[in-house]
């Protein structure tokens, strides 16, 4: 049966559509790799997460970027670290750790939102103009401005 074809007895189950939707994402990065990248701070703790970063999980080898002095410490902790990662993943996925002496990439700071336009601010003020002066009007106007700032 083709991916887009209707199921004979009614709507197609969502489970039948998931593989087609996730195939491209999993081709680029396996689910275990994505899990390790997303949960790195939970796995190793905040102290190690600040000076290390997982880079790649391939054929059972996890490559971890770290500064030079940290690599030596990680080599001593490698068995415990590997056990933590595999426990977090729920399967013995990582057999080896490879340490890459490189400064971990800092996450890019999100760009600040552009200031709201004058027409949007005028619309917010017009929407609360019918309300009496007081804390409710001020709060609703602030909510409207904050909503415009997030767009």
More confident residue, 82 or 39: 82
Q: What is the pLDDT of residue 102?
A: 77
Determine the average pLDDT of the residues in 76-91: 84
Determine the average pLDDT of the residues in 72-101: 84
Determine the average pLDDT of the residues in 64-80: 83
Q: Which fold has domain 14-101?
A: GMP Synthetase; Chain A, domain 3 (3.30.300)
Give the pLDDT band (50/70/90) at residue 107.
Answer: low
User: Is pTM beyond 0.75 here?
Assistant: no
Q: What is the pLDDT of residue 103?
A: 65
Give the pLDDT band (50/70/90) at residue 19.
Answer: low
Determine the average pLDDT of the residues in 105-134: 79
Residue 66 CA to residue 74 CA, distance in Å, equals: 9
Select from 73, 62, 70 the least CA-distant residue to 36: 62
Give the pLDDT band (50/70/90) at residue 121.
Answer: confident
Select from 62, 73, 65, 71 the least CA-distant residue to 97: 62
Q: What is the pLDDT of residue 148?
A: 81
Residue 33 CA to residue 146 CA, distance in Å, equals: 36
**Which of 36-50, 73-87, 135-149 is least confident?**
36-50
Q: Which helix (H) or strand (E) holds 14?
A: helix 14-28
* Residue whose tokens read 């009614």: 10
What is the token pair recorded at 122?
């005028």
Residue 73 CA to residue 46 CA, distance in Å, equals: 15
Task: Tell me how far apart the terminal alpha carbons of the chain are, to the nearest angstrom.
Answer: 42
Give percent above pLDDT 70 in the chain: 72
Q: What is the pLDDT of residue 76?
A: 86
DSSP state of 10: B
Assess contact for 113 and 138: CB atoms under 8 A: no
Where does the chain hold its CATH 3.30.300 domain(s)?
14-101
Gyration radius of the chain's alpha carbons: 25
């Amino acid at each position: 049966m083709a991916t887009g074809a209707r199921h004979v007895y009614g709507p197609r189950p969502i489970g039948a559509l998931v593989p087609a939707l996730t195939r491209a994402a999993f081709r680029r990065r396996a689910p275990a790799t994505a899990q390790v990248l997303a949960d790195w701070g939970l796995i190793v703790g905040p102290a190690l997460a600040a000076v290390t970063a997982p880079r790649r999980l391939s054929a059972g080898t996890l490559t971890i970027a770290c500064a030079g002095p940290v690599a030596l410490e990680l080599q001593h902790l490698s068995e415990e670290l590997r056990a933590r990662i595999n426990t977090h993943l729920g399967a013995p996925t990582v057999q080896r750790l490879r340490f890459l002496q490189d400064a971990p990439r800092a996450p890019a700071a999100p760009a600040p939102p552009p200031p709201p336009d004058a027409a949007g601010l005028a619309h917010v003020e017009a929407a609360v103009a019918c309300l009496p002066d007081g804390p409710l009007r001020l709060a609703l106007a602030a909510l409207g401005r904050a909503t415009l700032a997030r767009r």
